[in-house]
Every structure is written in C-alpha cells, then in structure tokens.
Amino acid sequence: MTSRHCEIAGAGIAGLTTACVLAIRGWSVQVHERSNELREMGAGIYLKNNSLAVLEELGLLEEIKASGMILRAGRISGRSGKVLANHIVHGIDTVTVARGALHRSLTNRAQGLGVRFRTGSQVTAVDPAGSLTANGERFEADLVVGADGVHSIVRDSLGLLQGITMLEEGGIRVLVPRWPDEREGMTTEQWSGTCRLGIVPCSKDQLYLYLIGPARESGVHTVPVNKKFWCDLFPEEVDVLNRIGDIARYDQFSLIKVKGWSAGRVAIIGDSVHAQPPNLGQGAGMAIANASALGAALGENTDVPTALRLWEESRRPVTEEVQLWSYRYGLIFYALPFNALFGEQIRASIMSMIGRIRYTARKLAWLRHGGHPPDALALGGKT
C-alpha cells in the first residue's frame, strides 16, 4: 500500500503523540504549530499507566523515567496537617516529569521518524474531504487531525463543539529548584480553605508546584505568583514557596463537550475534545492513549472515516468517564454549601467517605492511575 498522509494542527502533547504513532505505522506526517518554536508551556506532569504504556511502545519510556521521577507514594492533608488520603503506588505506574522534557522527547522521536514540522503555521480551516489550510496555503491529506487545544479552530470550524464551560477554579503551575533527594518519590497535596498546593518532585533538581484555588480570587490567578498570599495559606511550606521565580503559568480550568470526534477525514484529539480540570491528572494521559488507539484503528481499517468512527466508539466512553469524575472531584472544592464556614470539615468527611466506600475508592483509583489503556495498544512492534 502506498504511504498515507496526515496533516496535524498543533504540536502539543496530543499532536506530537499522534504524529509519532502514525509515522511508526508508515504514514507521512506534517505538523503545523502556530508558535514560532516547538515548546511546551507548563511545568510538570504526572504520567500514569495508560500514557506510560504508549510511551514505552514509542521507545521513550526509559528516557522519560531517567529525566523524571518515579512516584512511590502520595498524600493529601488538611490545614491542620491531618492526613485525608494516603496512597502507595505499587510498581512503576506513576512517573512525573518536566513538561519540557516530555515535549522534547516526543519532538525528537517524531523528527527521527521523518515527521515534518511547520512552525509559525496557523491553521485557519479544514475540509472533511481531507484538507487543511494554514497561513493561506492548502494541504491535501488522507487524514487531518485537530490537536489544537481547548480553543480548537479545527473542532469549531466543523461545528463539533457542544459546549465549553469555564469552571470556578484555576491553577498556577511552576518549577522550583529541588535540593538533593528532597521529597524523593513522594507527592503531596495540601488543602487550605478552598485552595490546594501540590508539591511534586519531577526531576533530580526540580520540584513541580501547582497552586489551585477559586478563579475569582486575585491571589490565585496573579502571575508572577503572589507569594505572600500562598505563604499565608500554607505557612509550613514557606521554604518551598519562596523558591518561586517570575516564570509561572496560570490557567482557568474548563470543560469541553463535543458532539463527535470526527467529520469525514478529520479527527479531533486531546484538549480540543476533552479538556477537563486536572483533578485526576489525566488530560494528557487520555490524549496519549487515544492517539495510540487512533493509530490502531487506522491500521485495521483502510477506510479513514470508518476507522475514525470505530475509534470514537471504543475510546469515547472511558474518556468521558474520566472527564466526568475529574469534574465531580473538583466540585467538592467550590460547590459546597457554607464553603467558607464548614468547607474544610465537609471536604475532609467526603474524602474519608470516598476512601471507605469500595466503589468510589476503586473507581477513582482506576481512573486516576490510568487503568484504561487503549485496547488495541500494540503498535505492532514497529518501534
């Protein structure tokens, strides 16, 4: 069979993974990135079973593990220091890594597989018959992929958006220096009122911090970080908070609902399909897993629209389940009655209830740890 060609909009984690998966399967691939350089915004990222399995198939697991950290345990605690949830990670199923390192690994792998990149290339339109327009130039393809993020032009131009909800929470992400062996293998999340502070080792010399709270509070969304605001909330972590420099990223969380994952020969993937609050740390994980499943579906079906339909049928239910639970989890931070007065106690009770009810405890652990890798994961050993 002659090589099939794919044009991709967006060189984020979703676009790069899709490019690698297709290139391994013999597709010729071109990726359009509107920025002038290939780079990932953000700080650190958790990778779980589902994404790690795909990265292993792509031959990237070892280098990602080497540049990141393997987590062995996680803890959530309240303002008083009371432990609300504790979990031990068995085996190698959670790796944290600096986003830049993950992005570089994927980019290098894609380039090694012959994927072509066009930077400064803004996609403005796609045609379900199989073409993409960027910077006024039209590119024909057997498959077009919209991996262009929350505000996807590809998705919207096809009328696939059902709704976008801006949530009441947002978060700052930042990298700070890590001292030798500091917090080895251990991720912690602390709660104070309606705010959360996560401290996560993500490389031998970097800690990844996430600072989450109500989007309306200026202390929460101010960048450079308002250190006094956060130090007052988390006085026991002043040492770490004071390491924060000027570079940080704030995002208000959002929830995307779509009518479908494809139209004709055009598929959408990643945040453009399932942007969600980061409570289960699975947004990129789902994008990576779904990219692998897309490759498998296209390998088994030569007719692209049929492959896209089967891909959606197999991956959409679990993707929407992860999204729903991630959204529900966030509600305990901002949708409680009497939040200011009793919020902390109620949240602690809810956490303990979740831990005690077998169904919710198992469900959350399954979703959070990516116990839902793509069925047809195997890339056929074509790495």
Ligand X SMILES: Cc1cc2nc3c(=O)[nH]c(=O)nc-3n(C[C@H](O)[C@H](O)[C@H](O)COP(=O)(O)OP(=O)(O)OC[C@H]3O[C@@H](n4cnc5c(N)ncnc54)[C@H](O)[C@@H]3O)c2cc1C
Please report, as ranges, the residues that interact with ligand X according to CB under 6 A: 9-15, 32-35, 45-46, 122-123, 147-149, 153, 171, 173, 210, 251, 270-271, 278, 281-285, 287
- For residue 236, the cross-strand partners are none
- For residue 251, the cross-strand partners are 171
Q: How far apart are CA 117 and CA 30, in angstroms?
A: 6
DSSP string over 162-227 = EEEEEEEEEEEEEEEE--TTTTTTEEEEEEETTEEEEEEEEETTEEEEEEEEETT-HHHH-TTT-H
Ordered strands of the 206-214 beta sheet: 83-88, 73-77, 186-192, 195-203, 206-214, 161-177, 249-258
CB-based contacts of 317, cutoff 8 Å, min separation 6: none
Check: CB of residue 120 under 8 Å from CB of residue 31.
no
Identify which of residues 11 and 297 has a Cβ nearer to ligand X in the complex.
Answer: 11
* Matching residue, tokens 């505000």: 151
Q: How far is the CB of 186 from ligand X (least distance, A)?
A: 16
Q: How far apart are CA 60 and CA 109, in angstroms?
A: 8
Identify which of residues 30 and 282 has a Cβ nearer to ligand X in the complex.
Answer: 282
Identify which of residues 24 and 291 has a Cβ nearer to ligand X in the complex.
Answer: 291
Q: What would the two tokens of residue 361 be? A: 């405890």
Count other C-beta atoms under 10 Å from residue 317's C-beta.
Answer: 11
What is the chain's alpha carbon radius of gyration, rounded to the nearest angstrom? Answer: 21
Check: CB of residue 154 under 8 Å from CB of residue 268.
yes
Q: How far is the CB of 379 from ligand X (least distance, A)?
A: 19
Q: How far is the CB of 220 from ligand X (least distance, A)?
A: 12
Identify which of residues 187 and 192 has a Cβ nearer to ligand X in the complex.
Answer: 187
Identify which of residues 55 and 310 has a Cβ nearer to ligand X in the complex.
Answer: 55
Q: How far is the CB of 33 from ligand X (least distance, A)?
A: 5
Q: How far is the CB of 2 from ligand X (least distance, A)?
A: 27
Identify which of residues 92 and 341 has a Cβ nearer to ligand X in the complex.
Answer: 92
Q: How far is the CB of 212 from ligand X (least distance, A)?
A: 7
Q: How far is the CB of 303 from ligand X (least distance, A)?
A: 26
Q: How far apart are CA 327 and CA 167, in angstroms?
A: 9
CB-based contacts of 66, cutoff 8 Å, min separation 6: none
Q: How far apart are CA 141 and CA 130, in angstroms?
A: 5
Identify which of residues 14 and 233 has a Cβ nearer to ligand X in the complex.
Answer: 14
Q: How far is the CB of 271 from ligand X (least distance, A)?
A: 4
Identify which of residues 122 and 301 has a Cβ nearer to ligand X in the complex.
Answer: 122
